[in-house]
Amino acid sequence: MKQFWNERYAESNFAYGKDCNLFLKENLHFLPKGKVLFVAEGEGRNAVFAAKNGFEVSAFDYSESGKQKAFLLANENGVPIDYLVSDVLELPYEKEIFDGLVLIFAHFPAEIRKHAHLKLLELLKPGGKILFEAFGKEQLNYTSGGPKDIDMLFSEEEVKNEFPDVVITSLSTEKIVLDEGLFHQGEGVVVRFIGTKK
């Protein structure tokens, strides 16, 4: 899997474009101005957008080539970002250090996914905010992107189970039209939620 992402991000084009995700763009105001962690951030488009809007941004991914592209994009936009190459279960951050968590198409393998989400919640301060968008189970019927393994896709019930002690402000499954770079194009189904850690 690591090799797959390193190869995808090694291409000269930005795999998912340079523009930030639309759900993030529309809901960035929900995040407190402070330290925000961008999960499985790839080439940095969302982290750079937040940095341009005054957030203190940290990001991680296990792709070294993703990090290199993220720094290119950050330099292009004249903003600083902190970016670690790390496995989600080995993140070195202190507990309760972040004011916000952003998970945009962060699809972890089924065998570690719940554990990964609990680990990420540990890093969020009480009262911290979460923005989440990922492909839903029905995405298997579409060709606009995402894992082909149903166990890596989401249902609303799974979101509730995997993010305990979170007050969910909104949770929905939506059919949308994706237009993000080469690999997110066309109709798709996503699960979205906005929440606050208790």
Q: Give the tens place of pLDDT for each residue, 15-62.
A: 999 999 999 999 999 999 999 999 999 999 999 999 999 999 999 999
The residue among 58, 37, 59 whose CA lies nearest residue 124 is 37
CA distance 119 to 39: 12
Strand order in the sheet with 35-39: 82-85, 56-61, 35-39, 98-104, 124-135, 184-197, 166-180
The Cα–Cα gap between 15 and 107 comes to: 16
Identify which of 99, 185, 177, 166 has the alpha carbon closest to the alpha carbon of residue 193. 166
User: Residue 164 sits in a domain of what CATH number?
Assistant: 3.40.50.150
Count how many domains the chain has: 1
Instruction: Say which residues have a Cβ less than 8 Å from residue 141's Cβ, sequence separation at least 6.
Output: 189
SS3 26: helix
Expressed as residue numbers, the domain containing 156 is 2-197
- State the pLDDT at residue 94: 97
What is the model's pTM?
Answer: 0.97
Instruction: Please report which confidence band the pLDDT of residue 93 belongs to, taking 50, 70 and 90 as the band edges.
Output: very high
